[in-house]
């Protein structure tokens, strides 16, 4: 499903404006079935509110031309989401299939692609243009140009709106540098902070105005490494998420099977996802919520009153 951006932003009170008259039909040919949102910096001028809008619409020429649209949305320095395309754009480009698999399963990238994957993504590449909404954020991209608070707020608000419409968690929001080792953008933007703020909003919590966020641990938390049983050597990761019906915990295993959703309402949590293979269910021990396995191994994944 592809969302109509103006309707989504209007319904969720996200600041937006048309970037040009033909934004709703301006798109690159090919398949577009987004599974997430990718953030970029424009690497444009330090001057002006949105100096790269024309480039985002038309694309670039020269010896390595890239026809537009380059993105779905350009977020201006003043905090306005300028609509460029409601379809396939050209900015994600090729990336690593393991990143796509993680994002599709509501797992955040494990770090910048250059540091994580030994192979260049062109050895195994998949086409990100088919799979991501592209957000260009107006910034020089030199690590020295600050992102104004109103600009970051507009990016977060847009990501929250799209995640709600698609029933995604905050882990569907990634950086271009997390997708491919060819890129460094958006340089200077802390993706752990961005995802924590999106998760906070999806969970109905107020936003934090600082990147030193005391509730960040509630958004992405790593549990202790398991020392026995069929999941020995693996580390559980769990996060707050929201599917439009309320908050729930998401649990996944590093290197484990795809997570599945199970009922956890008797334990004070509306819903939960746990690894399917070997899982015997949920149990409560005092205020702790545990995932139990047939061999007696348990994982403490949170508390309930």
- Dist CA 196 CA 187 (whole Å): 18
Q: Which residue has the higher pLDDT, 135 or 102?
A: 135
pTM over 0.75: no
**CATH architecture, domain 5-202:** 3-Layer(aba) Sandwich (3.40)
Q: Would you call 53 exposed, middle or buried from its count of C-beta atoms within 10 A (0-12, 13-18, 19+)?
A: buried
Read off the pLDDT of residues 109-129 as tens digits, 9 standing for 90 and up: 877 776 666 545 555 678 999
Place of tokens 């090729």: 94
Mean pLDDT of the chain: 76
pLDDT of the residue at 283: 54
Least confident interval from 104-113, 118-127, 132-141, 150-159: 118-127
276 pLDDT exceeds 50? Answer: no
- Dist CA 263 CA 47 (whole Å): 52
Ordered by start, the domain boundaries in the chain are 5-202, 220-303
Read off the pLDDT of residues 2-34 as tens digits, 9 standing for 90 and up: 779 999 999 999 999 999 999 999 999 999 999
> What DSSP designation does 270 have?
S
Residue 9, both tokens: 């932003």
Is the Cβ–Cβ distance between 171 and 103 less than 8 Å? yes
pLDDT band at 248, cuts 50/70/90?
A: very low
Q: Would you call 250 exposed, middle or buried from its count of C-beta atoms within 10 A (0-12, 13-18, 19+)?
A: buried
């Amino acid at each position: 499903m592809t969302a109509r951006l103006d309707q989504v932003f209007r319904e969720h009170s996200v600041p937006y404006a048309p970037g040009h008259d033909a934004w709703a039909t301006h798109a690159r040919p090919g398949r577009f079935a987004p599974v997430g949102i990718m953030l970029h910096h424009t690497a444009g001028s330090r001057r002006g509110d949105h100096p790269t809008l024309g480039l985002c619409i038309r694309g670039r020429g020269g010896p390595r031309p890239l026809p537009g649209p380059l993105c779905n949305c350009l977020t201006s320095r003043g905090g306005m989401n300028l609509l460029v395309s409601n379809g396939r754009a050209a900015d994600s480009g090729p990336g690593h299939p393991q990143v796509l698999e993680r994002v599709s399963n509501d797992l955040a990238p494990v770090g910048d692609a250059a540091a994580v994957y030994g192979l260049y993504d062109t050895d195994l590449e998949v086409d990100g243009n088919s799979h991501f909404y592209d957000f260009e954020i107006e910034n020089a991209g030199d690590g020295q140009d600050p992102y104004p608070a109103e600009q970051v707020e507009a990016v977060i608000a847009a990501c929250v709106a799209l995640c709600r419409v698609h029933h995604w968690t905050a882990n569907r929001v990634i950086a271009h540098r997390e997708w491919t080792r060819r890129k460094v953008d958006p340089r200077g933007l802390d993706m752990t902070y961005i995802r924590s703020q999106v998760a906070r909003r999806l969970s109905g919590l107020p936003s934090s105005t600082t990147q030193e966020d005391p509730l960040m641990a509630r958004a992405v938390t790593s549990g202790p490494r398991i020392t026995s049983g069929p999941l020995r050597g693996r580390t559980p990761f769990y996060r707050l998420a929201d599917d439009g019906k309320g908050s729930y915990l998401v649990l996944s295993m590093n290197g484990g099977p795809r997570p599945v959703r199970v009922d956890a309402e008797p334990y004070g949590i509306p819903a939960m996802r746990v690894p399917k293979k070997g899982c015997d269910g949920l149990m409560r021990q005092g205020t702790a919520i545990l995932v139990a396995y047939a061999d007696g191994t348990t994982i403490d994944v949170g508390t309930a009153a």
